[in-house]
Amino acid sequence: MHDIRTIRDNPAAFDAALFRRGIAPVSSQILAMDEARRAKILAAETAQAEANKAAKEVGAAKGRGDEAEFERLRALVGEKKAQVAALNDEAKAEDTALKDMLMGIPNLPDDSIPDGADEDDNVEIHRFGAPKNFAFDPVEHFDIPAIRPGMDFETAAKLSGSRFVLLSGAVARLHRALAQFMLDVHVEEHGLTETMTPVLVREEMMYGTGQLPKFGEDSYQTTNGWWLIPTAEVTLTNIVNGLTVDESYLPRRYVAHTQCFRSEAGSAGRDTSGMLRQHQFEKVEMVSVTKPEDSAAEHDRMTGCAQAILEKLELPYRTVVLCTGDLGAGMRKTHDIEVWLPGQNTYREISSVSVAGDYQARRMNARYKPEGGGKPQFVHTLNGSGLAVGRALIAIVENGQQADGSVDLPAALLPYLRGKTRINADGQLV
């Protein structure tokens, strides 16, 4: 959410930043709503002062025996009290409308990110490894002989419908090993705090991280009002919801492995084959909470954490900084990490590492108290996949596929697979 005082102080800069996202100027509308709200508050305060003055004079009129003045003043007090109540209700309605509007406006893009219309205008900033030259035509993950026995879309469709998958045998074990490997690296090497969070949250938590009100159709809500999390960003970030912490508490660095749920409402026709885009999936998510002056460096650190997982798995990837036209609504700056998928002959996103600045913190009212004293300040929040487990599995099996239909597995996973190094063409770990 945006700070109304910042918009009051420099509406032109606010509009210019949003214009980079392709959004028409809105500051005049916001300021008009703000002025109406403030006018109602002032009118209520004035009416209350008049009521207080009349109330003091009621007793004096009664003491003088001036019944006419007594009745006039008593009626005036009642009239002013009713006026105050009405004006307060109107001010509250104006305040709610203003907050709703501010909540619906995307974050302002960081000055450092490139302008652009869509993903074609993203800028590559890093690359690791080179795509493997296969002596045969590589296929997508679901067509690899070693994988087909353990990746069942038909049974999943019978159970749940489209965009679900049933994993079994070697593939299920590989999926579990990947999640454990990612957690261990992030905890033991990157210093993150492992966290187990709920996957059902209250509605206000979805508002806190920006999934609501604008993107409700992308998530699932239960009949009793809970929401299924689309990512552990929701639960991990909201740990500081409503808190004012000491400066020494920061930074906080969390990691969680959870199931995630997305309706994929806006992705009709995209990635319908295989398990690249599912309604239910698993992800290892990183979240950091920092002081404002530390968030840029933390963003780079988190990007390095995600990249390290791919490097240990020996997977070629590239990192891009998103342009203004491809930037998520709640984020100020995002690095997308894209892994090479030989079956598709292209790089595909496997992690987005983003800094929200104080955008989420304002929605959550999350602050910290400076050590030297002074007014509490809003924290900065960051999040990033470290990584999407299913997409990592896809990348491993596609890059490791062999001419005989088997799949060679990365050495980093051997301790998690009891020394097994491959899945043979019959779908068995060997």
- Please provide the distance, in angstroms rounded to a whole number, between the alpha carbons at the two ends of the chain: 53
pLDDT at 214 over 90: no
- Ligand-binding site membership of 263 (annotated): yes
> Cα separation of 39 and 36, whole Å?
5
318: left (phi over 0), alpha (psi -120 to 50) or beta: beta
Superfamily of domain 119-423: Bira Bifunctional Protein; Domain 2 (3.30.930.10)
DSSP 231: S
Determine if residue 383 is labeled as part of a ligand binding site: yes
Residue type, 50: E
Residue 89 clears pLDDT 80, i.e. is over it = yes
The yes-or-no verdict on residue 188 having pLDDT over 90 is yes
* 140 annotated to bind ligand: no
Task: Consult the annotation and say whether 285 binds a ligand.
Answer: yes
User: What is the Cα–Cα distance from 292 to 366, expressed in whole angstroms?
Assistant: 12
- Output the six-digit token pair for 16: 């210019």
Sheet strands side by side (includes 346-357): 123-128, 317-321, 333-341, 346-357, 380-388, 280-290, 252-261, 193-194
Is the pLDDT at 22 greater than 90, yes or no? yes
- Tell me what the pLDDT averaged over the chain comes to: 95
Which pLDDT score is estimated for 84? Answer: 93
Tokens (6 digits) for 383: 């999040």
**pLDDT for 213 beyond 90:** no
- Residues tagged active-site: 262, 277, 349, 352, 391
CA 328 to CA 359: how far, in whole Å?
Answer: 12
The model's pLDDT over 31-73, given as tens digits with 9 standing for 90+, comes to 999 999 999 999 999 999 999 998 888 878 877 888 888 888 8
Give CA angle at 261 (258, 264), nearest 5°: 145
Q: Which two tokens stand for residue 184?
A: 């261990």
Longest dimension (CA), the chain: 109
CA neighbor of 230 nearest in space, from 263, 254, 207, 257: 263
Task: Using the structure block, give the residue that is written with the tokens 């109540």.
Answer: 85
Secondary structure (DSSP) of 362-424:
HHHT-EEE-TT-SS-EE-EEEEEEEEEHHHHHHHHHHHHB-TTS-EE--GGGGGGTTT--EE-
pLDDT for the residue numbered 123 = 98
Residue 220 scores a pLDDT above 80:
yes
Tell whether domain 4-104 is in CATH 1.10.287.40. yes
Q: Could you tell me the residue ranges of all domains in the chain?
A: 4-104, 119-423
Q: Is residue 350 annotated as involved in ligand binding?
A: yes
